[in-house]
A and B are shown apart, each in its own frame.
Chain A
Amino acid sequence: AQKVTQAQTEISVVEKEDVTLDCVYETRDTTYYLFWYKQPPSGELVFLIRRNSFDEQNEISGRYSWNFQKSTSSFNFTITASQVVDSAVYFCALRARDDKIIFGKGTRLHILP
């Protein structure tokens, strides 16, 4: 069975600090995809990034970076120099061969001015 765990329920940091959101996943499939989504107060989920199981290369996009490590089944998300607009709920998700997309319970991030 697939599972995604986001152990951090809620995080608060002061603006301009760096923050890392943790994600640990479980799957028996060798081919799978991992995602991060952002849910602002409006409620709509915004896709941020995808990683497939064969590509462990880390990725950086502006202030966002992602660290994928198969050895620890983790796909962590770091925001550098956080801004108030980064305040949202962030979800990690997993898709394996059966086409189900399973989400973690999310991490609510508060960026304090």
Chain B
Amino acid sequence: SQTIHQWPATLVQPVGSPLSLECTVEGTSNPNLYWYRQAAGRGLQLLFYSVGIGQISSEVPQNLSASRPQDRQFILSSKKLLLSDSGFYLCAWSASPEAFFGQGTRLTVV
């Protein structure tokens, strides 16, 4: 069966520090991969999605970037975090119309 791993679960980072969140999927090939952010008490904002290795579509211009170095690996990065980057980050995969989500990373920028 397919599983998705996302880590870390929680993260506290100082302003200006770099960020790297990793997501990996097992049990499927060539899935679509997604990164979403959920600010406190808000909806889900699509940040990036990828339909294949090296193919990244950005939805919101900001100081975040994404990469897909392997078929089932999706990485969210930042060179310098801002306070506004705080939130709940969710990775998802899809091989059928619906997407399935990881457990999320709660990022607090201080």
* B81 interfacial contact with A, CB 8 Å: no
* B7 interfacial contact with A, CB 8 Å: no
Given contacts A101-B34, A103-B44, A106-B43, are A45 and B49 in contact (CB under 8 A)? no
* Contact residues in B for A91 (Cβ distance below 8 Å): 43-44
Q: Chain B contact residues (Cβ within 8 angstroms of A): what range?
A: 20 to 34
**How far, in whole Å, are A29 and B52 apart by their CA atoms in the complex?**
23
Q: Chain A contact residues (Cβ within 8 angstroms of B): what range?
A: 10 to 19
* Contact residues in A for B46 (Cβ distance below 8 Å): 100-103
Chain B residues packing against A (C-beta within 8 Å): 32, 34, 36, 42-44, 46, 49, 51, 57, 59, 88, 90, 92, 94, 97-104, 106
Chain A residues packing against B (C-beta within 8 Å): 33, 35, 42-45, 47, 50, 52, 91, 95, 99-106
